Amino acid sequence: MKRVLFVSSYPFPMNMGSRQHAYYMIRALAEQHEVHCLFFLPSDGHLPEDALSQLGPLGVVSVSFLHFREARKRGRFAGVVRSLFSYPISHMVDATHADGLAEIHRLVRTYAIEVIHYESLWYTKYAFSIKDLCKQVVVYHDLHHEVIRRMANDQRSLVQRLVLRLDAAKLLFFEKRLDSVIDLKIFLNPEELKRLPEHAVHIPHIANADVRYEPPLQKRICNILFLGAYNHPPNRQSFEYIIDQMLPRLVTVLGDGFQIHVVGPGTEKFGALVQNSAFRDRIQIHGFVEKLQDAFSTMDIALFPIFSGGGIKTKVLDAMAAGLPVVTSPDGVHGLADLPEESVAVGKDSAELVQHIVDLTENFDRRLACSRQAFAYVQREHSYQAFCGKVLTAFALL
């Protein structure tokens, strides 16, 4: 048994994006190790009163909190200057705390910590100051310099493009330098592991273990699910794409035979965009739901046109685990290794995405086959059992 300090953002609610990975990582580690947690909260966030009650059943021994440093309002020019001279990028500065290193030192001394696990790259700036104290592990949800580089290519502003490319270069330098102090790197995407292969393992992302498989039903009306929190820019981009590029095509080919259901925290803010659409009666906004199963169980197809952002898309895995045929863009299956061709319908533009929806709506046999293949893939590659086994094996080698 090792004593592990888990450093991350607070991982609740567990069914929201990368936080889901943090929750299951804690759960897996606590099965064989003594786990202590240090969580960073937003500067205006309240200390969650239910932290111990939620983490206690997992076997977590102690929980500590720090707030992010206070964000300062800056003009565009000041923001650009700060981004140019911050190291490695300004987001890493904002996502940590001035007393973070002192708190890590205190926890290491108090609990004789043997391994520090950084669930996100943003906290690894502390790794250079404690490299001789204990072993250190970092999770790569994606190679961040690649994400920033892709963002730069999408910018219309030349200044923003240059700033982001500089950020990407600084991040690449940082990621390579981090190799000198990290004892184990965990990559969710096997392709990215090949770029930094030393002391690295591939541990696939996990689908939400509380989601239950339900085979699709044969019916004429097609309920299409769009899932995503409003405050995440790639989700807003995806929804705008559905409204502008896909909805007119869907109405043309399916008429009244479909309904798009929008689920996720803050999605009520999409209301203005929906009201301005000529096809607003085809869209229903539900907002936040407590359990993903409640959203999945009444839907027929999941639609995720994703064109930006990084990491493996947990909502794609969760929909597959629930038995929903998924229609998505190539970015939606980014990092899913050995994915069977018929398990997900992938389209590169609105015409192909709409055609997949039509085919799945009209061909129930294809919908059923897609559902079964997707579920079998998730069970084989992204179940909690497979995830836990690989996590514990990797930590046993430290």
Contacts of 129 (CB under 8 A, 6+ apart): 101
Report pLDDT for 206: 86
Strand-by-strand arrangement of the 135-140 sheet: 62-67, 34-41, 3-9, 115-118, 135-140, 184-187, 200-202
Integer Cα distance of 69 and 40 in angstroms: 10
Q: Which amino acid is at 397?
A: L
Confidence of residue 108 (pLDDT cuts 50, 70, 90): very high
Q: Look at residues 138, 153, 249 and name the one whose alpha carbon lies nearest to residue 192.
A: 138
Report pLDDT for 258: 93
pLDDT, one tens digit per residue, over 341-380 is 889 999 999 999 999 999 999 999 999 999 999 999 999 9
Question: Can you state the angle between helices 384-396 and 18-30, rounded to 10 degrees?
Answer: 60
Does the predicted model carry a pTM greater than 0.85? no
Contacts of 64 (CB under 8 A, 6+ apart): 36, 37, 38, 39, 103, 107
pLDDT, one tens digit per residue, over 202-214 is 998 888 888 899 9
Contacts of 77 (CB under 8 A, 6+ apart): none
Q: What's the mean per-residue pLDDT of the chain? A: 87
Domains and CATH numbers, the chain: 3-206+383-396 (3.40.50.2000), 222-381 (3.40.50.2000)
